[in-house]
Amino acid sequence: MSTFNIIGDQTELATRISALAGNATKVQNEIHLLAVSTLDHIRQHGDFTLALRLFNALPNGQRVKGLAVWYRHFSNKALSFNYDKKAGWGCKIAKGWSADDFNIEGAIKTSYGDLTNERNPTTMSIEQVLRMLKRTANKTGNNADGSPLVDPKARDLCAKLYVAGTGMIGLAEALGV
């Protein structure tokens, strides 16, 4: 286990928090500059490799998926960045894209952190569980390597759980529970 030194001194904590605030603002500004610059590079050359480097350079604490939404938004959906646990970040560029799809002025005015709201945690409802089971039971597509998105046994289990769940809800409603 690595050594972890908890800061116990209040003055040092306050000083380091202030320093972090300044550094965090600089980092956010740098990410925005790099994102806009790579977006413009893609617009000019169709080359998204530098944007992929930016995605892979960002730490987990950043809203990296928000950055993917930002690129998609300011490229008029011409860019699609996706994360794969094994391969890391990847990108697809739409066939027939053009430089006119890219809104660089809008991208300059809007950072990726400001484009979408970070969602608050919510409690999952029974209805959401049932929708997830139904969606999973019907997901028959394949991954890029040809393997199924959802194992057929898992799809079958989800279908059975969905039927059982809807039946139990119907029974509970009939009983007034």
Convert the pLDDT of each residue in 93-133 to its tens digit: 999 999 999 999 999 999 998 998 777 888 988 888 889 98
Q: At 1, is the pLDDT very low, low, confident or very high (cuts 50, 70, 90)?
A: low
Q: Burial letters for 119-128: b for 16+ Cβ neighbours within 10 Å, e otherwise?
A: eeeeeeeeee
87 domain residue, yes or no: yes
Clarify whether residues 101 and 34 are in a common domain. yes
What is the count of structural domains for the chain?
Answer: 2
Does 103 lie in the same domain as 141?
no
pLDDT in the model for residue 68: 95
Distance of CA 57 to the CA centre of its chain: 15
Q: Are residues 54 and 95 in the same domain?
A: yes
Range of the domain at 60: 10-115
| 2 occurs within a structural domain | no
Q: What is the mean pLDDT of residues 76-92?
A: 92
Condensed to tens digits (0 to 9), the pLDDT of residues 7-36 reads 999 999 999 999 999 999 999 999 999 999
- Calpha distance 98→43 (Å, rounded): 7
Classify residue 153: in a domain, yes or no.
yes
* 51 neighbors 87 (Cβ within 8 angstroms): no
Same domain, 22 and 74: yes
Q: Which residue has the higher pLDDT, 154 or 168?
A: 154
- Taking the C-alpha atoms of residue 175 and residue 24, their distance in angstroms, rounded to an integer, is 56
Q: pLDDT tier at 162 (50, 70, 90 boundaries)?
A: confident
- Identify the pLDDT of residue 177: 65
State the DSSP string of 51-89. Answer: HHHHHHHS-TTS-HHHHHHHHHHHTTT-EEEEEETTTEE
% of the chain exceeding 90 in pLDDT: 62
**For residue 149, is it within any domain?**
yes
Residues 64 and 139 in one domain: no
Is there a domain that residue 88 lies in? yes
| Mean pLDDT of the 53-69 span | 90
Identify the pLDDT of residue 51.
Answer: 98
- CB contact at 8 A, 98 and 46: no
Residues 81 and 138 in one domain: no
Q: What token pair was written down for 36?
A: 């806009």
132 and 110 share one domain:
no
Q: What whole-number distance in Å separates Cα of residue 131 and Cα of residue 127? A: 6
Residue 58: other Cβ atoms inside 10 A: 15
Residues 43 and 82 in one domain: yes
* Angstrom distance (rounded) from CA 75 to CA 100: 9
Task: Note whether residue 120 is domain-resident.
Answer: no
Same domain, 104 and 142: no
